[in-house]
Structures are given as C-alpha cells and as structure tokens.
C-alpha cells in the first residue's frame, strides 16, 4: 500500500507492506501531475514496514519514466538499508537529482533536508 500527500512543490510518499502494480500506476500518475504543475519538485519517500514489490509491479518494470523529470530537485529516501538499493534502482532516471538516504530514526531530519532551500 502507498499513501501520497502533496503540499505545494512537495510530494510525501509512504510505502507500506508490499507494493503492487496499482500502487505503481498511482505513483506514476501522481508524480506526472505534480511535476507538470510545479517547476521544482521535492520528494520524500518513507518505507514503513516495507516488504518490497509484487511480481505484477516488477512486470511493469519498476522504472519511473516521467516527463520533465529534471524538475525533481531532491529526493529524501527513508528506510532500512535493506531497501536502499532496490529504491535506488527505481530512482535511476533522476540522475541529476540530489538523492539522500536516511534511516527510519531520521524521518524529521529527512523532511528538514528535503524542504531546506526550496522556497
């Protein structure tokens, strides 16, 4: 399951349990719309009790192909190091984006880092 919240230029995503193709489609749709509506986008991803992706989500390729992806300026990735590599693969298209990994205990620090300097 995935929860997505948007506020101004920021997107907050909380990935819980196992993500499926519906979660993937929702993520792509939400991000596309937000990127098109904002010149700069800051993305917070939190993996809470995260178990990975289902086979149906893998079938879709788990590769984000978004228009204007250069508008994504920062990605704060919060979770256990076990999932860091897998999510980093998903984020490969954002090679010009500043991506920083934070442990679950550093949620507040991750939000502060993502929000700093984006006004």
| pLDDT tens readout for residues 36-70 | 999 899 999 998 887 777 766 655 555 566 667 78
CATH of the domain at 24: 3.40.50.10600
When pLDDT is cut at 50, 70 and 90, the band that residue 71 belongs to is: confident
Q: 47 lies in a domain?
A: yes
Q: 119 lies in a domain?
A: no
Q: 36 lies in a domain?
A: yes
Q: Helix (H, G, I), strand (E, B), or coil: what is residue 35?
A: helix
Q: 106 lies in a domain?
A: yes
Q: 118 lies in a domain?
A: no
Greatest Cα pair distance in the chain? 39
Closest CA to 15 of 52, 47, 59, 61: 47
pTM for this one?
0.82
* Residue 102 domain boundaries: 1-113
Q: 50 lies in a domain?
A: yes
Q: 70 lies in a domain?
A: yes
Residue 63 gets which letter from DSSP?
A: -
Say yes or no to pLDDT of 119 above 70.
Answer: no
The CA distance from 43 to 111, in Å, is 9
Q: 34 lies in a domain?
A: yes
Q: What is the reported pLDDT for 58?
A: 57
3-state class percentages of the chain: helix first, strand second, coil last, to nearest 5: 40, 35, 25
Q: Report pLDDT digits (tens) over 16-40.
A: 888 888 888 888 889 889 989 998 9
The tally of domains found in the chain comes to 1
HSE (side-chain half, CA atoms, 13 Å) at 13: 24
């Amino acid at each position: 399951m995935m929860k997505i919240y948007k506020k101004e230029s920021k997107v907050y995503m909380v990935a819980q349990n196992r993500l499926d193709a519906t979660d993937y489609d929702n993520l792509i749709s939400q991000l596309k719309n937000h990127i098109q509506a904002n010149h700069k986008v800051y993305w917070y991803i939190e993996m809470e009790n995260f178990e990975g992706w289902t086979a149906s989500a893998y079938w879709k390729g788990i590769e984000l192909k978004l228009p204007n992806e250069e508008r994504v300026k920062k990605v704060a990735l919060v979770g256990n190091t076990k999932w860091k590599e897998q999510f980093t693969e998903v984020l490969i298209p954002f090679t010009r984006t500043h991506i920083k990994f934070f442990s679950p205990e550093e949620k507040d620090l991750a939000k502060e880092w993502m929000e700093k300097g984006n006004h």
